[in-house]
Amino acid sequence: MIIENFSANESQILSLINQDNNTFEKLLNNVQFSEKTLITSIESLISKKIIFFDIKNNEYKYDSKFDGEMIILDGNILLPTTIIKIPEKNLMYISRGEWYQFPINFDIRRIIWNVKIDTKTNSTLVDLIKTSVLKERKSRIIQLPEYENLKNKIVPYSDTIGLYLNTIGEEVTEVTILFKIKLEENSSVSIEHRGFSIRSEILTSELINELKLPINERNYNNIKLNKIFNFSDFIFSKNEIPVSLTDKGLTFLRITGVKKMFEFTYIKMNFTGETQILQILEFDDSNEAIEHLRNIFNGLPNMILTQNNFFVELTD
């Protein structure tokens, strides 16, 4: 897997160049940041050999020509562009808030980002999280009566993943992916933490096809899972972020407050499943709270996700 990144400012500049805003004056009139930042971002793109300055025509151009027409993709102006290349599958994934799939030889310089920003507000990652991710998500999927008995059940997808069935719809089923962290396993006791989770969707047909088979013939890996997420997808009320796992038990952080201020409750779980509150942290500064979580996510959570072949963009 090969991962490349372009900052939000660099992404904006490239998109503007694709729209013939290729002089410094035109770029300065269209970007949402300062002249000093523009100069720094242009220098970064030149150092990466993406663009160069054509002295004769007094404009910026791409370092080499490319074939193909421009395409327009929806993106978030606040986020960087992340590119994931998987050579063995001949695939490339591109994200600026939403993920898009292309052949690995797709030239990203063809992209014009259709980004929107409300100039009347000062939107930040924190604002986006508070207005979308942190609120309880109301399902758009209508529960099918014939599968009511499956609702709120857990499908044992693998030894390390469970799928909690929230709503079973006609085409799509809303699930919560539970990451199982084993604390102890012997002949009589098997303690698991299942509080670290993420909402997602699967195809109902793939779920039902497996459940119709005898238990010993089921292969839940036939149910395709989305394994690419953004960091902000994990930030919602009551989610439990693992912090450390030692021979004394598991310490995790439960998100217990997201409205007036961020509140994180640190909890210790021992090998019998008993829990103890260690401390409660409150943050008046939302940005500080997000960075606190991001630092934790770089450790044990990221390791757990990587072991399960999940990828999380941590810069959003």
Q: Are 60 and 18 in contact (CB under 8 A)?
A: no
pLDDT (0 to 100) of residue 66: 75
pLDDT in tens, 61-72: 987 877 778 888
Q: Which of 97-106, 112-121, 165-174 has the highest mean pLDDT?
A: 165-174
User: Distance between CA atoms of 146 and 135, rounded to whole angstroms?
Assistant: 29
* Every domain of the chain and the residues it spans: 2-123, 145-313
The beta-strand segments (E) located in the chain are 2-6, 51-54, 59-62, 71-75, 81-86, 91-95, 99-103, 111-115, 154-155, 161-168, 172-185, 190-203, 228-230, 240-246, 249-257, 262-269, 275-283, 311-313
pLDDT (0 to 100) of residue 134: 35
Please check the confidence at residue 196 and state whether its pLDDT lies above 50.
yes
The percentage of the chain sitting over the pLDDT mark of 70, rounded to a whole number, equals: 87
pLDDT in tens, 113-145: 886 544 433 444 455 444 443 333 444 688 999
pLDDT (0 to 100) of residue 112: 85
User: Distance between CA atoms of 29 and 73, rounded to whole angstroms?
Assistant: 22
User: Distance between CA atoms of 138 and 163, rounded to whole angstroms?
Assistant: 18
Of 70, 84, 50, 83, give the one whose Cα is nearest residue 113: 70
CB pairs under 8 A, 24+ apart, for 67-71?
A: 67/107, 68/107, 68/110, 69/110, 70/18, 70/110, 70/111, 70/112, 71/110, 71/111, 71/112
pLDDT (0 to 100) of residue 9: 85
In this prediction the pTM is: 0.60
pLDDT (0 to 100) of residue 136: 39
pLDDT (0 to 100) of residue 3: 79
Say if residue 273 is exposed, middle or buried (CB neighbours under 10 Å; 0-12, 13-18, 19+): middle
Average pLDDT, the chain: 84
Please name the CATH architecture into which domain 2-123 falls.
Answer: Orthogonal Bundle (1.10)
Q: Which of 22-36, 197-211, 289-303 has the lowest mean pLDDT?
A: 22-36
pLDDT (0 to 100) of residue 173: 93
User: Distance between CA atoms of 30 and 39, rounded to whole angstroms?
Assistant: 14
276: which 2 tokens?
């103890």
